[in-house]
Every structure is written in C-alpha cells, then in structure tokens.
Amino acid sequence: MYLLAPTGFGQLADRANWFKSPIARRLRDEKGVEFGFELKGEAETIIKNPGLFWGYHIPTNFAEEYFYHPERREKLVKSLLPISKLKPNYVNVHGPKLWWKPEKKDYIKRYEVHSDPEEFFKLLSVTIDLIKNLQEIFPQLTLENNTLVDYYRRDKDFLPITSFQPSAGGMLENFYIKEKTGVKFLVDIEHLILCLNFLNRKKNYADLKNKKFLQTPKEKELEKIFGYKIKKGYIPYTDPELNFEKIIQKMDAKRYHVTGNDQDVISGEKDLSHGPIKKDNLTFRKHLKIVLKQKPESILVETANCSDNACFSHLKPNETEFSFYNLCQILLEEL
C-alpha cells in the first residue's frame, strides 16, 4: 500500500521530507507501507516524473468546462497529453457539476432540484463521453465521487453556506457510469460522508424535511440510477437510508482520499471540510477500518492548511503535515 501526500509540483522536495520522518520510517519498516504523491495543478505545471509512485488529479473544474463548452472538448483532452508522457501510476477525474446557485437567503429553496430529468440524463451522457475520451490517453483513469452540495463564494473564497448542486459521479450513478465505460473508482471518504449527511438528513441537514412526491417514469428511472429520489422543485432524499459501509463494499475501490472530517459546515459560521486527522478521532478510525478491509493500493491525505483558502483560516499552517504523521501512527495501530 502507498500513503500519499498531496502536492503541487513546486512542493515536491518539501513533501518528500515527510517520508523521512521517524513515524513514516516505522510505518514503512513495520507494515511495508510505501510513500508517494498525488499532484494537483494545471497540466503544464507538471514538468517531470517525480520519481516515486504518483497520481495526477485533473483540475476539479475540468469536467464542467467539458460539459458546458462542447466546442472546446477536443482541446481540453489534448491539453492533458503532456501528463500521459510522464507515465503517472493513475489519473483521477471528477464528474461535472451543474453551475447553478439560488439566493443564499432562501434556506429551503437552496436544496431543491432545479433541473428536469433531461438535464440529469445529459450529465450522465456527457460524463460517459468524457471518461471514454480520457481513457484513450489514460488507461489507468479513476473516477472520484463528488459531493451533492457545494459552497457559495465571495470572490475566490468559499462561504460556510451550501446548496444542492447535482453532479454525475456523486453517488450510486457511478455504477451506471462504470457499466458503460469500465472506469475504476477512487473514493473520497469525506465526499461520501457529506453526500450521506445530506440525503439521510444528518448533521447540519437534520432540519431539512422529506416532502414526498409522485414520480414520473423518467424520475423513477433516475432514482434507479442515482440512488435517491429526484423531482424538480423538491429536495432530494432517500428511502430507506443509504449505508456508508455497504457503499464502500460495493464500490470495491483501491484508491482513497481521507480527511478527519464528517461534516461540511456549521451553517453560516464555519467551513469544516478538509479537516485535520487526529489520533483520538474514533469516527475516523471506524471509517478507516472499513476502507482497510478493501485492501487499498493507495490512500491520500487531503487535509487542508490555513494558507490554502481563507475559509480554512482556523487550521494550522502545517495541518496537512501533522495529519500525515497522525495517519502514519493510526496505520501502525490498525494495519
């Protein structure tokens, strides 16, 4: 198994020093865990192979650009060709999200579906097309699960206010996409937990009510694919609840992203996403044990630092590094 550090190309030397720490050396010597990187950033910023096991994370807005600008699709895919020549061990992509935001002040309306079934089917169709095109240059492509809610922004900063933002590749529709493309999965544990919080009405979504509705044949077809009930003008929900462990088992993924977080926001007050991994976090350990049963090939620490974005100002400057060391210790105890 590989434990990975997130990095931009310019940070490689600094992040590689983490692997020389006493706790990382113990993990390698006692449990056989090796180390590597997941590189993020525009393709032109990655100028050579890092020399260790590594993956490349295609920028998160890539799929949206592909979805909304069909005239640019060929150029977008070709922009990634330099990465293929560097021979990454895997390349990861998100499915597209719809660009839409209601008014922040309207709490209930923020979480209602605004799209007809046709737009959901278009999301699926374009995502399948995107994946097939990427697989021609990246046979090792993985599809990472999205969240179903997203943040509002003030300029470039995220605000601790969310709304429903549908995507392809968020939940159970991944299995439909895999059926059409054969793509393998990369599971982001935080993203999965946040989806389940929203659909199962947990944490800061507990006050949202399930208003039941009759479904058209197309909406029933969507529910069968996406795993939750969808109708324009209503808040999506599940019946019965979806289960974290069962989804992990069904995903059967070999690559994972982890943070210590299990809630996206304290609404209107604080962004909790990409939170630190702490050794005494029993909920994190419970989720990690479920992941380890899948015999993962790689696990990436995705904790943020305060410098990454203004909404993470409550985190430490070296939060990612501390989380990496803490995960080393946890893996020593759990493997």
Is domain 2-100+114-147+167-191+251-334 in CATH 1.20.1340.10, yes or no? no
Q: What is the pLDDT of residue 103?
A: 82
Q: What are phi and psi of 317, to 5 degrees?
A: -60, -30
Q: What is the pLDDT of residue 264?
A: 92
Identify the CA nearest to 162 among candidates 210, 195, 200, 209: 195
Stretches where the chain sits below pLDDT 50 are none
Q: Which residues make beta-bridge pairs with 258? A: 301
Domain regions of the chain by residue span: 2-100+114-147+167-191+251-334
Rounded (10°) CA dihedral 307, 312, 317, 320: -100
Distances (CA, A) of 212 to 198, 230, 233, 236: 16, 10, 11, 9
Question: What is the Cα–Cα distance from 37 to 15, expressed in whole angstroms?
Answer: 8
Q: What is the pLDDT of residue 310?
A: 64
Locus of tokens 């943020």: 304
Q: What is the pLDDT of residue 155?
A: 79
Q: What is the pTM of this model?
A: 0.95
